[in-house]
């Protein structure tokens, strides 16, 4: 029987797992690979365990079942401690089929996955080597993370946070925040204590206020976000525009307010470069920059 060299098999698994794909396809991939053979399943578990994708609530429960060692896959000696220690990156998939036409009177259900898994990690003191967290939101309000304090139990070991928003249906007007210079409501009582690199894609520019809760931030990037164009008096989204802030030292609350004030009132243009005492701003096209390497 023909068999692949272990190094080649691992390379195939790693490349396939790192390829962006719909949740349905990733779920099928997991199901197929765990059934090939025991050795194939073990190799895949190490790859999946290093770069974890939480596809939904049921998969979260399955992942923590693996984490506890409550799986037939561990009966031949594979230790659950390995699953705990090898996780460096986690991606959460949070999706709704549509958007409500009116503000919700109750807490939305799908979005609870984010706060629930962060609470579980904190409760178990799990994943000590987790450095990167990425959340893929589909048809989710950009205000949800603040309105329901989704990040209150944010892991102290995570240094890179990415929030990516996509919408498959028109965004109702009530969900689009009016441009303003200060964060709406009270500042949250929680922080993202170790986040150094923050990236937001596809959301509203008002999410820049996330800088307020990142005391150790060194870089902030907004990619393909919706911002208010003062000339045309309308919301504009340039899918090729990347805007980046670099902080020379830990941001102070006063600096954050001033930066937020400037961010919302600034007319963005390609090639725009601004230097301040503590902040450097750069705007460029997507093809002009290389992808930022993951924190390891």
Could you state, in order of their start, the residue ranges of all structural domains in the chain?
6-100+107-247
The answer to whether 199 and 158 have CB atoms below 8 angstroms apart is no
Least confident of 40-49, 60-69, 176-185: 176-185
Q: What is the pLDDT of residue 272?
A: 61
First to last CA, the chain: 38
Residue 176, both tokens: 């689009």
The more confidently predicted of residues 22 and 185 is 22
The C-alpha atoms of residue 96 and residue 78 are separated, in whole angstroms, by 36
Tokens of 143: 């205000």
Residues 6+ apart with CB under 8 A from 115: 148, 149, 150, 151, 152, 153
Least confident of 99-103, 171-175, 268-272: 268-272
Q: What is the mean pLDDT of residues 163-171?
A: 93
Question: Smallest Cα–Cα separation from 52: which of 129, 119, 124?
Answer: 129
Q: What is the structure's pLDDT at 54?
A: 97
Predicted TM-score (pTM) of this structure = 0.87
Pick the more confident residue, 156 or 77.
156
Q: Rounded mean pLDDT of 35-50? A: 84
Cα(277)–Cα(178) distance, rounded to whole angstroms? 29
Mean pLDDT, residues 190-210 taken together:
91
* pLDDT tier at 141, thresholds 50, 70, 90: very high
Q: What is the pLDDT of residues 108-138, one digit of tens each?
A: 999 999 999 999 999 999 999 999 999 999 9
CB atoms within 10 A of CB 88: 17
> Backbone phi, then psi, for 129, in 5-degree steps?
-105, 15
Residue 240 has pLDDT above 90, yes or no: no
Query: To the nearest whole number, what is the mean pLDDT of the chain?
Result: 82
Residue 124, number of CB atoms within 10 A of its CB: 12
Beta strands in the chain, from DSSP E residues, in sequence order: 51-54, 89-95, 132-138, 160-166, 197-201, 219-223, 226-229, 234-237, 241-247, 273-275, 279-285
Nearest to 157 by CA among 196, 126, 116, 194: 194
């Amino acid at each position: 029987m023909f068999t692949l060299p272990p190094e080649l098999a691992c390379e195939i698994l790693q490349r396939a797992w790192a390829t962006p794909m719909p949740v349905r396809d990733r779920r099928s991939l997991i199901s197929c690979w765990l059934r090939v053979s025991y050795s194939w399943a073990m190799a895949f578990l190490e790859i999946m365990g290093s770069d974890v994708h939480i596809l939904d609530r049921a998969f979260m429960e399955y992942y923590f079942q693996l984490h506890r060692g409550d799986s037939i896959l561990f009966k031949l000696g594979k230790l659950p401690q390995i699953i705990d220690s090898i996780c460096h990156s986690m991606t959460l998939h949070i999706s709704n089929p549509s958007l409500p036409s009116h503000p919700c009177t109750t807490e939305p259900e799908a979005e609870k996955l984010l706060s629930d898994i962060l609470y579980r990690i904190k409760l178990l003191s799990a994943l000590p080597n987790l450095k990167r967290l990425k959340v893929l939101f589909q048809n989710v309000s950009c205000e949800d993370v603040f309105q329901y304090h989704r990040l209150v139990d944010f892991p102290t070991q995570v240094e890179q946070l990415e929030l990516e928003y996509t919408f498959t249906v028109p965004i109702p007007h009530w969900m689009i925040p009016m441009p303003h210079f200060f964060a709406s409501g009270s500042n949250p009582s929680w922080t993202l204590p170790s986040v150094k690199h923050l990236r937001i894609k596809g959301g509203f520019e008002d999410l820049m206020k996330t800088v307020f809760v990142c005391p150790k931030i060194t870089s902030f990037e907004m990619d393909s976000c919706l911002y208010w164009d003062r000339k045309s008096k309308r919301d504009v989204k340039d899918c090729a525009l990347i805007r980046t802030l670099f902080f020379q030292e830990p941001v102070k609350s006063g600096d954050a307010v001033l930066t937020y004030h400037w961010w919302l009132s600034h007319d963005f243009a390609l090639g725009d470069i601004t230097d301040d005492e503590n902040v450097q701003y750069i705007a460029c096209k997507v093809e002009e920059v290389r992808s930022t390497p993951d924190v390891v």
